[in-house]
Structure 1
Amino acid sequence: MNFDGPVWIQAKQVSKYFEDNIMASYTIREADQIEHKIVYNYPLTAFEELATNAILHKEYDTPEYVGIYIYKDRSSFVNHNRPLPPVTIEALNKDRSFDRRQYLNKELKDMFFSLNLIESYGSGIRRAKDALFENGSPELKFYPDNEEDNYTNEVIGINKEFLNEFNSSSYEKTTTKTTTKTTIKQEEIIKIIAENPHISANEMAEKLNLTVDGVRYHLNKMRKAGLIRYEGSTKLGQWVIMKLNSK
């Protein structure tokens, strides 16, 4: 997938593509309890911070592109240059904040800050590491592990619990706990339906920034999965969120 246009537009496109097409979650709901736990394959904050970091620290005098690669068990962000001193690959693996970090593209850094694409200077790696920790994901890794190769590779592993659940043939974990796999958009649809059971697909599309066909695609998948159902006539009916009952 290639992204075109001004670099700040590309940064937003990358984030939206990830959120709509790659990021997924499953929800664990305890029987007879409102509280639930959501486990993501990759937390959005970590992906956004690392993608933005790769864009900000690219050496734009070279024709090489920023590469983001999604595999079954990991995501990889590649820049064809190393970080500017005093930051090193070893420090990126060991430390959390980089207050003295130098930028190849200071104008780009200032523009991203003014557009709220970054929150503060030198803190993106810390936020990515924190998001991975809170999601129970593997630690963030930086490569190469030598001083010769001129590239920077950031690797985040998929959440192991998510991967095991995704590969499982059964959704039920125990007799008192049920899991349902949902995407982020489907979680948003459930929230919208809970607020307004009579909402139409057109209204959902506006709230979710999706096409009507895109909303209907998600609704059909959710109905087939037993997450929701529609009761009544087309004009006067309403959506019903199905209760997840334990056996």
Structure 2
Amino acid sequence: MALPTSIKTLFGGGIVEWARIEFKATWDSQASLKTICAFANDIDNWGGGYLVIGVSSGKDGMPGDFVGVPNEKIDAYLKDMLNKCKLIRPAYNPITEVAEYEGKRFIVVWAPGGSMRPYTSPKTPGNKASERIAWIRKMASTIEPSEEEKRDLYTLANNVPFDDRINHSAEVADLSLPLIESYLKEVGSSLYERAGSMNFVELCRSMSIVDGPDEYVKPKNVGLLFFSLTPEKWMPYTQIDIVEFPDGEGGDIIREHTFRGPIHQQLRDALQYLENNVMVEVVLKHSDVAESSRFHNYPYAALEEALSNAVYHKGYDSREPIEVRVLPDRIEILSHPGADRSVTMEGLREFRAVSRRYRNRRVGEFLKELRLTEGRNTGFQKILRALQENGSPYPKFETDEERIYFLTTLYARDASDGAAKRWHARTRESASEQRARAIEERRNSILDFLSKNPSARLQDVSEALGIARGTLDRDVHILKEMKLLSREGGRLTGTWHVSG
């Protein structure tokens, strides 16, 4: 079976944290079995991990030498791995793939967090009387659990994260193959080339977005969140609401915009809206120096990370949307429930949030593959860095004692200057003016894309720009009537020509 990511991504280290990857120069059955068992137990809800055979272990868990696995040893390693994994109780089978990188072959084992924790394996695999251990992963090491950690594992056995649970109300047919293919292509998965010809259920099993016996296969919630066109059908209020108050909370004008659909798409759409309609660049000229100063009322990187964190950590079993409130001097991002209790109030005030256990292990995994969020416990620092580089005030992170909500507040830089006034004027546009401007911007983006990619298919344009196919077809028809766009040649071999 193929992996839902690429070996290049694993070796890059920017998406999958090093602590979730173990490198072995060769197949070591005893040590590797412990590691697979530990990833399956996933005590911190990281989403399991990867074992890569053919790479020596370097400093701090990073890859060392890329030695590869000799062709003549691959089959023997895989057979022994299969036999050794049969020693894990309850039954657990990781997903394996033989991958090529820089002319060498490697065995990659994906061991996602299991749904029947705790898993155990023998301390000494060759000894039938050997003690069975529920191995766990701590940082970059596989260890025996303490008594407290054993209790944690048994508690987790009754608490599979919501995003990794089966949804008994949905069907496999509710998952969209085009959405899955688009995701696999974007992340560079080797599954993409085979997705169209694979049995659909097997494809979904390879991505661990369905579960259950063959006679009762059901989607997992994470599959519906990313690969269903209407996740709110099964998880109500899976949406992002942007509410603008140009005159403040007591003003007469309120503008509301709701973004629905696959959660990564609604996140991108909401960020695009904020970038187009709320972010304003300011250029200040100085009398004593030739170079002007440039900054934004809100830096995009801070907005992106703050909203991505809300999508990552939202409780999707909670009937509450993510709400983004845009006021003249600040943006508030509200999500439910609050932070994990391992995150203290003092830590939030000091911008320290080291969460012991993550709420949505699978949602985070997919968002990181899509480069929409970063690794564990890095969000606050990314927001602070972006604000500091922009010269913005410090943010504010809040939760309540009952952990019902989490509120992130980003303050505008120099809210009294022209940036705030320009945003205020922009939000006073009539609804028809806003729609007209949005349509014009969308059509200009189509023309710009086709001028740079004259051989592109309309499906390519739809995927690249995130425009629904029906809307795109209408826009192309109108652009042709306006003599701004034409096409020469056949449907498969023709090219686009942009006028003017």
TM-score for both structures, normalised by structure 1: 0.63
Counterpart of 1:152 in structure 2: which amino acid?
A: F
Deviation at 1:133, TM superposition (A): 1.6
Q: 1:37 to 1:168 in 2, by over 3 A?
A: same
Task: Say if 2:306 is the partner of 1:50.
Answer: yes
Task: Say if 2:417 is the partner of 1:164.
Answer: yes
Q: Deviations over 1:52-87 (max 9, x none)?
A: 001111111111111111001100000121111311
Task: Say if 2:383 is the partner of 1:128.
Answer: yes
* Identity fraction in percent: 29
Q: Distance in 2 between matches of 1:149 and 1:3?
A: 25
Counterpart of 1:107 in structure 2: which amino acid?
A: R
- Name the residue aligned to 1:23: 279
User: Which structure would you say has the larger Rg?
Assistant: 2
Q: Distance in 1 between matches of 2:445 and 2:350?
A: 49
Q: Distance in 2 between matches of 1:149 and 1:202?
A: 43
Q: Deviations over 1:90-125 (max 9, x none)?
A: 312213463x55321100000001111113222111
The secondary structure found in structure 2 opposite 1:60 is coil
Q: Distance in 1 between matches of 2:279 and 2:271?
A: 10
Q: Distance in 1 between matches of 2:406 and 2:379?
A: 15
- Name the residue aligned to 1:7: 263
Q: Distance in 2 between matches of 1:31 and 1:115?
A: 44
- Name the residue aligned to 2:294: 38
Judge conservation of contact 1:66–1:79 (CA < 8 Å) in 2: yes
The secondary structure found in structure 2 opposite 1:45 is helix
Q: Distance in 2 between matches of 1:202 and 1:4?
A: 22
In structure 2, the gaps of 5 or more residues are 1-256, 423-443, 453-464, 468-474, 477-498
Judge conservation of contact 2:339–2:403 (CA < 8 Å) in 1: no
Q: Distance in 1 between matches of 2:287 and 2:390?
A: 22
Q: Deviations over 1:166-209 (max 9, x none)?
A: 4689xxxxxxxxxxxxxxxxxxxxxxxxxxxxxxx7897437x6
> Which structure is higher in RCO with an 8 Å CA cutoff and minimum separation 6?
1
TM-score for both structures, normalised by structure 2: 0.33
Please give the root-mean-square deviation of Cα atoms over the aligned residues, in Å: 3.2
Counterpart of 2:341 in structure 1: which amino acid?
A: P
Counterpart of 1:61 in structure 2: which amino acid?
A: D
In structure 1, the gaps of 5 or more residues are 170-200, 213-233, 236-247
**Which residue, out of 356, 360, 364, partners 1:105?**
360
**Which residue, out of 315, 323, 331, partners 1:75?**
331
The secondary structure found in structure 2 opposite 1:2 is strand
Judge conservation of contact 2:344–2:353 (CA < 8 Å) in 1: no
Deviation at 1:28, TM superposition (A): 2.1
What aligned pairs does 1:69-218 form with structure 2 within 5 A after superposition?
69-96=325-352, 98=354, 100-144=355-399, 146-148=400-402, 150-160=404-414, 163-166=416-419, 205-206=448-449
Q: Distance in 2 between matches of 1:111 and 1:166?
A: 35
Q: Distance in 2 between matches of 1:203 and 1:58?
A: 34
Counterpart of 2:298 in structure 1: which amino acid?
A: Y
